[in-house]
A and B are shown apart, each in its own frame.
Chain A
Amino acid sequence: MAPELGIFALILAFILSLSQAFFGLTGAWRGKPVWMAVARPAVTGQFVFVVMSFSCLVYSFVNNDFSVLYVARNSNSQLPLFYKVAALWGAHEGSLLLWILILSIWSLAVAAFSRALPLTFSSRVLGVMGLISSGFMLFTLWTSSPFLRLIPAAADGADLNPVLQDFALAIHPPMLYTGYVGFSVAFAFACAAMLEGRLDQTWAKWTRPWTIFAWLFQTIGIALGSWWAYYELGWGGWWFWDPVENASFMPWLAGTALIHSLSVTEKRGIFKSWTLLLAIFAFSLSLVGTFLVRSGVLVSVHSFATDPTRGLYILAFLVLTIGGSLTLYAWRAPKLYAPGGFELFSREFFLLVNNVILAAVAALVLWGTLSPLVYELLGVGKISVGPPVFAVMFLVPMLPLMVFMAIGMHSVWRRGKLTGTAKSLWWLAGAAILLSLGIQGLVFGELHWLGLLGFSFGFWIIFSALLEPLRRLRQKQTLTAALMGMCIAHLGVGMFAIGASGVESYKIEKDVSLKPGGSFRIAGYDFKFLSAANVRGPNYDAVQAEVQVTRGGKPVTLLEPQKRHFWVQQTANSKAAISVNWARDLFVAMGDPLGDNAWSMRVQYKPLVRYIWLGAIVMALGGLIAATDRRYRVKVPAAAPGLVTPPDRHTELGSA
């Protein structure tokens, strides 16, 4: 009964989202308040039915209803309860339903918090979001229903892919989708502004917190994915430049650029058409990512089962949403030009550089991801783009970006004159270089150019980010949430730079063959293989090794890596054991038995690797703080968008 109810609820939600789109958009167009008033209740109704539909699928998973094809394919009666729920988004159909659920939550949030906005504007926003929801619901109902029956029912399910049976990966899709889908809010705001033919600073003030929230979820989502790849694939890498990783990284880059460009539009009322374009790009790149993952156009490990109808549907959907919004852009953006100059080395200048570099990196990543397809289309031969190419494409623009970031934090609006605190930057740069040389020489005992660059820039950005908050604290001045948010987010960038360059410069990875009693030394740590024993998990058998780690005779930790053998899918999976502290990870993963009780083991020393993800979390935290700034909470009088507010005259620091 549950799956039929699920379909029925989804159909009702689809109808409601269509009416949300129709009444929201035409009501605003025709100026009919009664029609516009329909949009908000339609959102609430849509949300209720989507939750109902989603719960039906959860119910089928939890109750092991293997007469549902999707459940039979992705779950198993022995699967732990947590993973039964997470298995829901383990494949194409269910993850699409998750996408719809998250979109309806965002819609509900926009409906709830947009009451202070003018009615025509908010109903246009909800109308655009209704169009997006209905597009995804139709996609699910038409080509990808997770509720199809399997007759006769399977005796048991085929199980969730063992590599997906992991906590970080179970929560990675919800986080990432919250980010992807969240950019639809900025997109809807942009479309509504273009439909109104009016875009002022108030608009930027409304749009910015939504964008920051979407961005921070995506930041965490990407970090979780990277963390998962690091320990679950047993290979110790943290980023692979896989098409699907790129698909999540491109909207993140566009979203990061958007946050910065919005601050210029908010403060100065300029960069309007560029901000609009970024708002369209951030969400469009999310949709393009969806297309790439689900259409089978590119080959990737993350690829979902492919089906030409699905690819064709998403392509048609892309043409309607992206094509439609870009047409609207070409028509309306020229009218939005606002004069407003700024000097070289003013805050606007630094934010412009930030935008140009981030957009260029996004374009390069898009090119790298799609170039095999382009070459194939042009028939000029076939190429493959490996991680080294991406690494260079990423590093070359990122290094200057870090310089501009460190200095830009101390620039002021309009005038090309840095603040007084900026004077300290120059000797702090020297201090950062000395500090990184010192760490390289004393801790790692080896100079490495990547480490030198990464550490120096990283420390410099951290120092630069701390300067202004410290000065204000010392002089007992107030610290706004906006300033704190910016500084903390940039601090996260510095931590990331140190972590990424540190681990890439000084990691040690060794494959060894060990017998019980045998030991191996890397980076001053002795890894002693004590014993291996059979253990039993909820749905797998495993061999667990005990590896005693000591340093200079003193015990450090006991690592217990496992080689798991999952019963249902009959696949083996190595579960790495990792010892973590603030300076390094020690990583042991089991390979294959080599006979005679010997095992091959991969032993790794990963200095500073945690700062990669910690940096991402700090960036997200900075976003969270910035989004709670008081100016975003002030109720806007309903008449505001009609007024053309003059550009702010004051040059407040840290509002970016």
Chain B
Amino acid sequence: MWKFLLPFAAFVALVVLFAFGLNPNRDIHALPSPLIGKPAPEFALMDVMDASKVVSNATLKGQVYVLNVWGTWCFACRQEHEALLEIARQHVVPIIGLDYMDEREKAKQWLTQLGNPYNAVAFDTDGRTAIDWGVYGAPETYLVDTKGRVIFKFITPMTADVWQHEFLPRIAAARRDGA
């Protein structure tokens, strides 16, 4: 009666998946991205706050900047918002938002109510720019250096701690190299 073994077989598959998930070398926070060291994909998208404006990363060439991918549907994005606001207050680098697979009205409401940490927010309706950037889920935060290369990618909600230990040293190094 092999069919009674089916649940067991399905469970074995699940265990393999979980064991993979537990692999200590799999760092969910800094997923190896094929984009690291490569030029950041360019985009020119509608501004969430003002439909007549265009947000493009072409204008940021020569600057170190952060791209934060989020959406109002993303529960964890709500969680990192306070940290982003705090980081924005430090004025270290420009923070560009990429509002991903969202409704513009909702995104506007979100930013009006919770505060806007972004210098500009690009509206990525169909998620094409996100695909270019290899976005896995939201929230994700990318760091781009002065030569326009992606140098770091961070997955999961941003925290003050991560900013302090993962981003600030890399920003300082990128500025040294760029100078």
Q: List the interface of chain A (C-beta within 8 A of B).
A: 233, 235, 240, 242, 273, 277, 280-281, 284, 288, 291, 295-301, 308, 311-312, 315, 318-319, 322-323, 326-327, 329-330, 333-334, 370, 372-374, 376-377, 382-384, 386-388, 509-511, 513, 571-572, 589, 591-592, 600-602
Q: Is the CB of B4 within 8 A of A311?
A: no
Residue in contact with B20 in the complex, picked from A319, A377, A383, A571, CB distance below 8 Å:
A377
Contact residue among B15, B17, B101, B137 (Cβ-Cβ distance under 8 Å from A382)? B137
- Say how far A599's CB is from chain B's closest CB, in angstroms: 10
26 residue pairs A–B, Cβ–Cβ below 8 Å: A240-B75, A242-B75, A277-B7, A280-B7, A288-B14, A291-B18, A298-B21, A299-B137, A308-B22, A312-B22, A315-B15, A318-B18, A323-B8, A323-B11, A323-B12, A329-B4, A329-B7, A373-B20, A377-B16, A382-B137, A386-B73, A386-B101, A511-B108, A591-B113, A592-B113, A601-B113
List A contacts of B4 (CB < 8 A). 273, 329-330, 333-334
How near does chain B come to A278, taking the closest CB pair, in angstroms?
11
How far is it, in angstroms, between the C-alpha of A295 and the C-alpha of B23 when the chains are bound?
11
Q: How far is the CA of A386 from the CA of B73 in the complex (A)?
A: 7
Instruction: List residues of chain B with CB within 8 A of the CB of A513.
Output: 112
The contact of A308 among B14, B17, B24, B108, by CB within 8 Å, is B24
The verdict on A600 contacting B14 (CB below 8 Å), with A382-B137, A384-B137 known, is: no
Proximity bits, B89-112, A CB within 8 Å = 1, else 0: 000000000000100000011001
CB < 8 Å neighbour of B109 from A333, A377, A510: A510
**Closest partner residue, chain B, to A512 (CB atom):** B112
Q: How many angstroms between the C-alpha atoms of A101 and B28 in the bound complex?
A: 33
Our pick among A281, A296, A387, A511 for the contact of B28 (Cβ within 8 Å) is A296
Q: Which residue of B lies closest to A297 (CB)?
A: B21
Q: Which residue of B lies closest to A298 (CB)?
A: B21
Nearest B residue to A302, CB-CB = B75
Binds A, one of B40-48, B76-84, B141-149: B76-84
> How far in angstroms is the closest Cβ of chain B from A282?
13
Contacts of B82 in A (CB 8 A): 571-572
Query: Which residues of B20-76 are within 8 A (CB) of A?
Result: 20-22, 24, 26, 28, 31, 71, 73-76
A315 touches B75 (CB 8 A): no
| Contact partners of B163 in chain A: CB under 8 A | none
Q: B-side interface residues toward A, CB under 8 Å?
A: 1, 4-5, 7-8, 11-12, 14-22, 24, 26, 28, 31, 71, 73-76, 78-79, 82, 101, 108-109, 112-115, 134-138, 155-157
Cα(A602)–Cα(B112), bound, Å = 9
Judge whether B115 and A592 touch: CB under 8 Å.
Answer: yes
Once the chains bind, are A374 and B11 in contact (CB under 8 Å)? no
Smallest distance from the beta carbon of B170 to chain A beta carbons, Å?
Answer: 22
Q: Which A-chain residue is minimally distant from B5 (CB atoms)?
A: A330
In the complex, what's the smallest C-beta–C-beta distance from A345 to chain B, in angstroms? 26
Give the chain B neighbours of A330 by CB distance below 8 A. Answer: 1, 4-5, 7-8
Bound CA span A326–B108, Å: 50
Distance between Cα atoms of A308 and B26 in the complex (Å)? 11
Given contact pairs A330-B4, A591-B115, a sample of 12 additional A-B residue pairs in the complex whose CB atoms are under 8 Å apart: A273-B4, A299-B28, A301-B78, A308-B24, A312-B22, A318-B15, A330-B5, A334-B1, A376-B20, A384-B138, A591-B112, A602-B113
> Are A370 and B73 within 8 A (Cβ)?
no
A329 and B8 in contact (CB under 8 A), knowing A240-B75, A386-B73? yes
Instruction: Give complex CA distance A370, B16 in Å.
Output: 12
User: Could you tell me the distance between the alpha carbons of A326 and B41 in the complex, rounded to whole angstroms?
Assistant: 49
Bound complex: CA A601 to CA B112 (Å): 9
Asked if B11 and A315 sit within 8 Å, CB to CB, the answer is no
Chain A residues in 8 Å Cβ range of B157? 301
With a cutoff of 8 Å between Cβ atoms, the chain B residues found around residue A373 in the complex are 17, 20-21
Given the known A-B contacts A322-B11, A372-B136, are A301 and B114 also in contact in the complex, defined by CB atoms under 8 Å? no
Contact B76 A301 (CB under 8 A): yes
Within 8 Å CB of B20, what residues of A?
373, 376-377
Q: How far is the CB of B126 from chain A (nearest CB, A)?
A: 13
Find chain B residues with CB under 8 A from A233 CB.
78
Residue of A nearest to B28 (CB): A299
In whole angstroms, what is the CA distance A83 to B17 when docked? 38
Of the candidates A323, A329, A334, A370, the one whose C-beta lies within 8 Å of that of B17 is A370
CA–CA, A501 and B15, complex, Å? 37
Distance (Å) between the CB of B85 and the closest chain A CB? 9
Minimum Cβ distance to chain A for residue B136 (Å): 4
Distance, CA A592 to CA B101, complexed state (A)? 26
Complex partner residue of A511 from B5, B71, B109, B134, CB under 8 angstroms: B109
Q: Which residues of A contact B79 (CB under 8 A)?
A: 301
CB distance from B1 to the nearest CB of A (A): 4
Q: For the complex, give the distance between the alpha carbons of A644 and B115 in Å.
A: 69
**Cβ-defined contact, B112 with A301, below 8 A:** no
B14:A315 contact, CB within 8 angstroms: no
Known A377-B20, A591-B112: A326·B28 in contact at CB below 8 Å? no
Q: A298, A315, A326, A384: which contacts B7 (Cβ < 8 A)?
A: A326
Centre residue among B11, B12, B75, B115 by max chain A CB count within 10 A: B75
Residues in A with CB closer than 8 Å to B28 are 296, 299
* A113→B160 CA distance, assembly (Å): 53
Return chain B residues, CB-CB under 8 Å to A277.
Answer: 7
Smallest CB-CB separation from A234: which chain B residue? B113
Q: Do B137 and A377 have beta carbons less than 8 Å apart?
A: no
- State whether A511 touches B113 (Cβ < 8 A): yes
Q: Are B7 and A602 in contact (CB under 8 A)?
A: no
Which chain A residues lie closer than 8 Å to B73 at the CB level? 386-388
Name the B residues within 8 Å of A327 (CB-CB): 8
In whole angstroms, how far apart are the Cα atoms of A29 and B75 in the complex? 50
Inter-chain contact B22/A315, CB cutoff 8 Å = yes
Interchain nearest-CB distance for B114 vs A (Å): 6
Quick one: given A329-B8, A333-B4, A571-B82, are A297 and B22 in contact (CB under 8 Å)? Answer: yes
Q: Which residues in B have their C-beta under 8 angstroms from that of A311?
A: 21-22
Q: In the complex, what's the smallest C-beta–C-beta distance from A115 to chain B, in angstroms?
A: 33
